[in-house]
Structure 1
Amino acid sequence: MKQQLRTEQFRHLRKFFIAAFLLIQAVSWSQVTLTDSNLPIVIITTDNDPNSGQPMEIPDDPKIPASMKIIFHPDGTRNYMADQNTAGFLNYNGRIKIELRGSSSQMLEKKQYGWTTYENNDTTKKDVSLLGMPSERDWILNGLAFDSSLIRDYLCYNLTRQMGQYATRTQFCEVIINGDYRGLYILQEKIKDDSKRVNIEEIDEAAVTGMPLTGGYITKADKTTGGDPLAWQMDSYQGWPTDFIHELPKPEDVTPAQNDYIHSQFQALESTTGANNASVANGYPSVIDIPTFVDFMIINEFSSNVDAYQISTFFHKDKGGKLRAGPAWDFNLSLGLDVFGDRSQPDIWQFSNGDNEGAKFWTDLFNNSTYKCYFSRRWHELTQEGQPLSFSHIDTFIDETIDRISEASVREQQRWGTVPNLGEEVHIIKDFIIERMAWMDANIGSFTACSNITLPQLVISRINYNPSESTEFPESDDQEFLQITNAGTTTIDLTGIYLSELGISYQFPVGATLAAGESLYIASNPTVFESKYGVAPFGQFQRNLSNNTQKLVLADGFGNVIDVVEYDDDAPWPDADGSGSYLQLASLTLDNSLASSWVASTSDSLATDKFNNMSSTIIYPNPVGDMLYVKSGEVINNIEVYDIYGKVLQSKSYSTDSATIDLSQYSSGIYLLKVSAESGILTRKIVKK
C-alpha cells in the first residue's frame, strides 16, 4: 500500500518538476562567445531556408541538411575557433543531416540532436571516424538533460564498456550551431547494428521461417511518444504494461513473421522465469545470454537508474544466437537524481521500485536462486580493487572526468544556468555511490553455490577463418570451420554449451555429447565442408569468421567461460590468412590463447588426423643444444619443425621408430616439433638453448 501511494505521488509530482525545469530554462541567460577550448569544438551550420534566406531551425523530424566541422588538435593541445579553416586541425569537415532527438528532454531549451554524415552530394551516406571512434555514419549529440553534474551518462557508459559489454562510445565537446554557443555536449555513437557497435547482422527482409528468421534484431522497452508503433506489451508487477518497440528492423519494415518470432523469445523468457526454470535444456538459460542480463542489471542497479527496465531498455539477438540484454542506455536520471520524483534511492532495487519496474521477467530472474547467485558473484568480482566498479577506480575516473570538463562547465552555467555548483554535485554523487554499494553488498546475497563451477575440458583446436579459393571451391566463406576437442577423460554433455561472443552463433542441441579424446567440427556450410573433407560436420554456425581478428568464446549455458581464443592475421600468429592453411593447435597440452601454440596446417585429412598422446614416444633432451632425439614405440611417418609463427623450418619423412633432428642452425628460442605416426600426431614445444 505504501508503495502504491508513493507511485501516485510520483505521477503528480512529475508535472511540478517539469514546470520547474521549464521555468529555469525560460530565464534569459547570457550568450557565450567561444574562442578556444581544451575539448573538441563542433560547429554546425544549417542550410538556408529557401523562403527566408536564413539558416533553417532544426526540427524534430525530418533531418535537414547542414555542414559540420570538428576542430580537434590530435596532439591534445588546445582547440581554437581560428582553426576552423586549417585542414590539419579538422577532425571532420563535411555534410550532415540533423534533427532533434529525445522525449522529455525536448521540453528544454538546450536540445539534443541526432545526425548522419553524408557525401557532398547530400544523397550518399558516408561512414567516418570521429574523434577516434570507429567509422560509422549515425551519431548523437547528448545535451546532458537535467544532469547538473554533467557526468552521469558519461560515467555509466564508460563503466559498462570497462565491464566488457558494448555501450556507446563517448567524447565530450563544445557545440556551436548557426553561430550560437550551445554548451557542453557528449558526442556519442547511436545504437545500431555494426561490427564495432552492436555486432549483429540485420535480418534478411525476406526471412519468414527457419534459421533466417532468428535474427538479427534490436528491440527496446520504451515510451511510444517518439511516434514508433507499439510492437507488443508485457505485464509488469506494478499493474501497468511495458511497451516494446522494434528498433531493427525498422518498425515499418518488420513482417508479421518477424514480429511473432522475436516476441516469442520474450514470451519464452517470461514463461521460463515465471516457472523458476533454470534448466540449460529448456529453461531461461536456453533463451538468454545470462552474462549480458547480469551486467545490464548490475550497471542499472549500481546507478539506481529510474528509467531502467521500463523505458530506454534495449535488447538484441543475432541469427542463431540467444536473446541478449543491452546496450545499456540513458543514465541522466540516476545516481540519486530523479527530476520527476524521488525514485533513485540507494536502498531499493530498481526492478521493484513501485514505478518503472519493467516486464515481470526482471524480478523473476532476480528471484531465481541460480540467477541471483551469478548476479552476486559478478557483483563481487566487479567491485574488487582494480576492477571497474571498485570505488577507488570510480573515484579516480570521476575526478579525471571533472578535470577535463571543468572549464566548459563554467561556460555551460553561463549559457544555461544549470551547473550552479559542480563540486557539490560531484560530492553528492560520490556519497551516493558509497551508500549504494554498501546497500547492495548487504542485500545481494551469497554466491557460494556458483563460486566453484566444474567446467568441461573442451578446447578450440582448429580454426579455418580465411580459406583460399579454388575452381572447385570458389567461395572462401563457405569453407570456414572450427574444430572442438574433448581434452578430458570422460564424455561431455554438450547441452547448453554455446559460442557466446557476438560475431558467429552456435548453440549445441539438447542431448549432444562428445566422448573423451574425440573432436567435432562445426562449419559455415556443411555441404561444402563434407564435399571438401569427406566428413560431415557436427553442426553449422551462423555468420562468418573475421578475416582479420576475432574473439571466440566457448561457454556453458550460464555463460561460464570454457575456452577463449582470439586469433589474428598478423604475426606472431601463423599465416593462415587466405594462404591455403588453417590454424591448428599444436598440442592439447599447450595454451591455445597464445599464438606460439598454433601452427599453420594444410592437411585435408580431417577425419583421420587427430590428437593423440602417443605415450610411447620420447623426445629428448629438452631444452636442447644442437641435436634432438625422437624415440617411439611405433613407426614414425614424418617429423616437422616449426618456428613460433607457424612457419615450417624442416620436414622429413621416416619409416623407422627413431630419428635425430639437427637444430644447430637455429637461434635460441621456442620451436614446435610435430611427430606423425599411424596412431596420431604428437606436438611438443622445444626450447633451443
Structure 2
Amino acid sequence: MMRFALRTEHRTRAVSLLLLLLAACAAPAPVEPVVDPTPVVVAGRFATLTVTTAGSAPISSRETYLNGTWRLHSADSVLLKEGTLEIRGRGNSTWSMPKKPYRLRLTSATDLLGMPASRHWALLANYADKTLLRTDLVLDLGRRMGWQYVPRSQFVQLRLNGQYDGVYQLTEHIRVETNRVNIPELKVADTSSALVSGGYLLEVDELYGEDFCWNTPRAQLPVCAKSPETLRQPGWGKHQAYITGYVRTLEDALYGPNFTDPAVGYAAYIDVPSAVDYFLLNELIKNVDGNMRRSTFLTKPRGGKLVFGPLWDYDITVGNVNYGGADATSGWQIRGAPWFARLWQDPAFVQRVKLRWQQIRNDGTLSSWRQNTLARWDYMSVEQRRNFERWPILNTWVWPNRVVTGAYDGEMAAMLEWLSLRTSWMDEQLKP
C-alpha cells in the first residue's frame, strides 16, 4: 500500500501541476467542444435530508423496511419537501462498513432536487471512496458519452434519527420507469411473440441477488432479472423461456464459427455501440467489477437487441482498489472478460473501439470531463470537512484503498494522477 502525502496548503500548486500533466497527455484541440449536459455546480453548502424512523429505531436490515418520515431542506434551511417513507439498508460489501448505504421508498412519488418524481431512491455512503466523488464522476462521463439513461444524483447532508451522518449521494434507484429505464414494463398477460420480447432489465451478478437468476450456457455468466421482479412466479413461464432463450441464442452466435457476420453473428443480438462504450468506460476507470462479474446492467427493449447499461457502482474504480490488477494504470481490465474476449477477436469490433476512443478524445468529451472533475473538487472541498469529522478515516486504510494520503486534497490529487496515467496508456493501445 502506498502513502501519498499532500498538505492542504499546497493544493493550488497541485492543481496547476495536474492541469499540466493532463494537458500533456491530451488529444489534439477539440474540433467541436461537447456541450456540458449538466451545469457545473459551484461551491456551496448542500441540501439537508432528515430521516427519522418510527421510534428512532436503528436500520439494521437490508431486507426489512422501517417506517419513517423525511424532510428535505435547502442549503439556506428552506423546507423544500417532506413526507413519509420506508427505509432499509442496501449494498453488499458497503453494508458492512460503518457508514451505511440505504434504500428509500417514499409513500408518494416526489421530485427531489431537480430529479423527476419517483418513489424509489438510494443513499450512497461512498465510505471507501475518500474523494466521495467517483460514482458521481463516472456517471457524469456516461452522460457526456451519450448513454441513453444514466442515474441522476445530488449530494446531500444526511441527518438520521437526530444525528448528522455525513455527505451522501442521493441517487435514482435503477428501475423500469418512464424517466429512468424507459422500456415497456412487462405484464404477465404479455405472451404474444411481439410483446414477450421486451422489456427486461437484467444484471450480471455473481451474488445471485434476485429471485430469478441463471447461468448462461457458454460463458457461465450469472444473470439475474431485475424486471420483471416476478419472473419466477407462476404464469411467467413464457417470459422466462424467451429471455433465457434469447441470451442462449446470443451466445451461440457469439461463440459460433460465423460470429463476425453482421447478419447472423453477435451483432444481430447485441447493440454494438453500447458494448463499445461499455468497454471503453470500464477500461478507462479499470472497474474491477466491470469484467462481467457484478453491477453490469443490460436491457432488452421490446423488439430490440440487448443493450449494455445503465451505469452503476463506481466507488472502487479510478485507482481506488488494490486487487485484481485494477490498481495499475497499465494493462487491460475488461478485454479478457466473458463475451469481450470473444468480441476482441473480431477486427471490426476492435476498429470500432479505436475509432470511438479517438472520437471522445478529439471531440472534447474527455477534456470537458476532466475540467468538471476539477470543478467537483472545489464543489466538495467545504462539505467534505464535516463528513470526515463524523468519519475520521483520512489517515486510515479502508478496504480496498490503493493509497492513504491523510488529506482530502491528497485523495483528489492521487485520483487525478492515476487517471492521467491511465489515459496515456489507453492512448498508446488504441491508436488508429
TM range (shorter): 0.7 to 0.9
1:367: which partner in 2? 345
Cα distance, 1:370–1:342 mapped onto 2, change above 3 Å = closer
Which residue does 1:409 correspond to in 2?
384
Residue in structure 2 matched with residue 216 of structure 1 by the alignment: 199
Task: Flag the 1:435–1:251 CA change in 2: closer, same or farther, 3 A.
Answer: farther
Note if 1:109 corresponds to 2:98.
yes
Mapping 1:156-175, distance limit 5 Å = 156-165=138-147, 166-175=149-158
Is 1:204 the counterpart of 2:179 in the alignment?
no
Contact 1:412 1:418 in 2 (8 A): no
Q: Could you tell me which residue of structure 2 aligns to residue 90 of structure 1? A: 79
**Within 5 A, what are the aligned runs for 1:261-276?**
261-275=242-256
Report the CA distance between 1:380 and its aligned residue: 0.8
Distance 1:214 1:227 in 2: 20
Deviations 1:495-551 (A, max 9, x none): xxxxxxxxxxxxxxxxxxxxxxxxxxxxxxxxxxxxxxxxxxxxxxxxxxxxxxxxx
The residue number in structure 2 matching 1:421 is 407
Answering whether residue 89 of structure 2 is matched by residue 100 of structure 1, we say yes
Return the structure number with greater relative CO, CA threshold 8 A, min gap 6: 2
Letter of the aligned partner of 1:364 in structure 2?
R
Superposition deviation, residue 56 in structure 1: 4.7
2:27 maps to which residue? none
What is the aligned residue count?
Answer: 374
State the distance in 1 between where 2:343 and 2:335 align: 12
Instruction: Please state how far the C-alpha of 1:95 moved relative to its aligned partner.
Output: 0.8
Which residue in the other structure is 2:227 paired with? 248
Contact 1:97-1:115 within 8 A present in 2 as well: yes
2:322 and 2:87 map into 1 onto residues whose CA distance is 28
Larger Rg: 1
Quick one: structure 1 residues 319 and 341, their matched pair in 2 at CA, closer, same or farther if it must change by over 3 Å? closer
Q: Distance in 2 between matches of 1:367 and 1:42?
A: 49
What is the distance in 2 between the residues matched to 1:234 and 1:331? Answer: 28
CA contact (8 A) 1:315 1:326 kept: yes
Equivalent position of 1:433 in the other structure: 419
The one-letter amino acid of 2:357's match is W
Q: Distance in 2 between matches of 1:437 and 1:167?
A: 22
1:32-431 equivalence runs, <5 A: 38-48=45-55, 54-72=56-74, 78-79=75-76, 83=77, 89-118=78-107, 126-165=108-147, 166-224=149-207, 226=209, 228-233=211-216, 235-236=218-219, 241-253=220-232, 255-275=236-256, 277-308=259-290, 309-340=292-323, 342-352=325-335, 357=337, 360-384=338-362, 386-387=364-365, 389-390=366-367, 393-419=368-394, 420-431=406-417
The alpha-carbon deviation at position 290 of structure 1 amounts to 1.4
Deviations 1:438-468 (A, max 9, x none): 111211253xxxxxxxxxxxxxxxxxxxxxx
Instruction: Please give the alpha-carbon distance, in whole angstroms, between the structure 2 residues aligned to 1:234 and 1:438.
Output: 37
Deviation at 1:411, TM superposition (A): 1.3
Please list, as runs of the form range in 1=range in 2, the aligned pairs for 1:268-667 lying within 5 A after superposition.
Answer: 268-275=249-256, 277-308=259-290, 309-340=292-323, 342-352=325-335, 357=337, 360-384=338-362, 386-387=364-365, 389-390=366-367, 393-419=368-394, 420-446=406-432
CA RMSD, Structure 1 to Structure 2 (Å): 2.1
Check whether the contact 2:59–2:88 (CA below 8 A) recurs between aligned residues.
no
Asked if 1 retains the 8 angstrom alpha-carbon contact of 2:159 and 2:165, the reply is yes
Question: Structure 1: which 5+ runs fail to align?
Answer: 1-12, 14-36, 49-53, 73-77, 84-88, 119-125, 447-689
Q: Supply the distance in 2 between the matched residues of 1:217 and 1:169 (Cα, whole angstroms).
A: 21
Q: Which blocks of at least 5 consecutive residues in structure 2 are unaligned? A: 2-43, 395-405
What is the alpha-carbon distance in structure 2 between the residues aligned to residue 47 and residue 289 of structure 1?
47
Aligned partners of 1:383, 1:352: CA distance in 2, in Å?
20
Q: Which has the higher helix share?
A: 2
The CA distance in 1 between the partners of 2:127 and 2:143, in whole Å, is 22
- Give the aligned residue type for 1:366: W
8 Å contact kept, 1:306–1:344:
no
Matched residue type, 1:394: W
Is the CA contact 2:68–2:85 (under 8 Å) kept in the aligned structure 1?
A: yes
Counterpart contact for 1:146–1:339, Cα < 8 Å: no
The residue type equivalent to 2:52 in the other structure is T
Following the alignment from structure 1 to structure 2, what is the Cα–Cα distance between the partners of residues 225 and 108?
21
TM-score, normalized by length of structure 1? 0.52
CA distances 1:457-503 after superposition (whole Å, capped 9, x unpaired)? xxxxxxxxxxxxxxxxxxxxxxxxxxxxxxxxxxxxxxxxxxxxxxx
Q: Kindly indicate whether the alpha-carbon contact (under 8 Å) linking 2:53 and 2:161 is maintained by their aligned counterparts in 1.
A: yes
Give the CA deviation at 1:317: 1.0
d(CA) in 1 for partners of 2:208 and 2:187? Answer: 28
Report deviation, 1:370. 0.8
Structure ranking higher in strand proportion: 1
The one-character-per-residue Cα deviations of 1:529-583 (angstroms, maximum 9, x if unpaired) are: xxxxxxxxxxxxxxxxxxxxxxxxxxxxxxxxxxxxxxxxxxxxxxxxxxxxxxx
Which residue of the partner structure matches residue 10 of structure 2?
none
Cα distance in 2, alignment partners of residues 379 and 421 from structure 1: 33
**8 A contact 1:221–1:310 mirrored in 2:** yes
Q: How far, CA to CA, are the matches of 2:280 and 2:121 in structure 1?
A: 26
The one-letter amino acid paired with 1:405 is M
